[in-house]
């Protein structure tokens, strides 16, 4: 099976609405690659202007977070219905910053994954280990636990349409990057885990990204690996260099 690459920018807490539109207009001609799915995952306040700004282009818009309830007294939260109505297609779930800073656990993330799928949106489910976990040799044990916990009650057909992003926590925003071999080894381990939980066809279909200081210099080598289907890009997605990552060949 030939999986289409998906390259998503995670803007994190950057870009005011006016700055976001300016960046999108600058990037639009640079990220025009029909062979790659391109996604901007933007702060909630930027979603509507960015959706408008990308119209007519090959770019889809994603959200950086979501809540698992339909509506109600959940001050500050955003529902899948709100995101869908605004034009969002993807939602990042379980980024290490959400897990670490905001104490989101796997039980909560499992609810979010199921809610996003139920709404007809595509989850980008993040997983990854700390430097301490890598150095003590428990990387795959930890990531397998995350994957298995976050996908409880999710069917094989639903998983086939998901995206999973492997982001070693020690390589996010640090300038450190996992070697190509390390990134491929873990992405293959994630695919093997999906095959164990479901079956080989599901594992073959699911797209697995690498994230962690992806840049124009290392994208081509990373994305050439058999189990790496693109990237979840942080800081480099806020610059013109994102175009070089999208057109990595």
Rounded to whole angstroms, the Cα distance separating 223 from 227 reads: 8
Token representation of residue 249: 């060949």
The answer to whether 23 and 139 are in contact (CB under 8 A) is no
Q: Is 221 a catalytic residue?
A: no
Q: Which residues contact 4 (CB under 8 A, 6 or more apart)?
A: 35, 36, 37, 207, 229
Torsion of CA 247, 6, 238, 12, to 10 degrees: -170
Is residue 245 a contact partner of residue 209, using CB atoms and an 8 Å limit? no
User: Quick count: other Cβ atoms within 10 Å of Cβ 249?
Assistant: 10
Of these residues, 60, 95, 97, 129, which one is catalytic? 95
User: Of residues 60, 97, 104, 167, which has the active-site annotation?
Assistant: 167
DSSP string, 103-160: ---HHHHHHHHHHHHHTT-EEEEEE---HHHHHTT-HHHHHHHHHHHHTTT--HHHHH
Please give the angle made by the CA atoms of 118, 165 and 195, to the nearest 5 degrees: 75
Q: Which residues are catalytic?
A: 95, 167
């Amino acid at each position: 099976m030939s999986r289409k690459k998906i390259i998503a920018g995670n803007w994190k807490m950057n870009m005011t609405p006016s700055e976001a539109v300016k960046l999108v207009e600058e990037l639009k001609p640079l990220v025009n690659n029909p062979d790659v799915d391109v996604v901007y995952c933007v702060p909630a306040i930027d979603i509507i202007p960015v959706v408008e700004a990308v119209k007519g282009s090959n770019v889809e818009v994603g959200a950086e977070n979501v809540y698992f309830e339909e509506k109600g007294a959940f001050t500050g939260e955003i529902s899948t219905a709100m995101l869908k109505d605004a034009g969002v297609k993807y939602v990042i779930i379980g980024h290490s910053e959400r897990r670490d800073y905001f104490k989101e656990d796997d039980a909560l993330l499992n609810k979010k994954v199921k809610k996003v799928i139920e709404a007809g949106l595509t989850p980008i489910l993040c997983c990854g280990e700390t430097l301490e976990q890598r150095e003590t040799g428990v990387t795959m044990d930890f990531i397998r636990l995350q994957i298995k916990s976050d996908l409880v009650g999710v069917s094989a057909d639903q998983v086939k349409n998901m995206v999973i992003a492997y982001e070693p926590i020690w390589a996010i925003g640090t300038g450190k990057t996992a070697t190509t071999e390390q990134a491929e080894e873990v992405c293959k381990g994630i695919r093997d885990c999906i095959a164990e939980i479901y079956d080989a066809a599901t594992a073959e279909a699911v797209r697995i990204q690498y994230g962690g200081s992806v840049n124009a210099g290392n994208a081509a080598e990373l994305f050439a690996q058999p189990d790496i289907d693109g990237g979840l890009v942080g800081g480099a997605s806020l610059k013109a260099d994102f175009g070089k990552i999208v057109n990595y060949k």
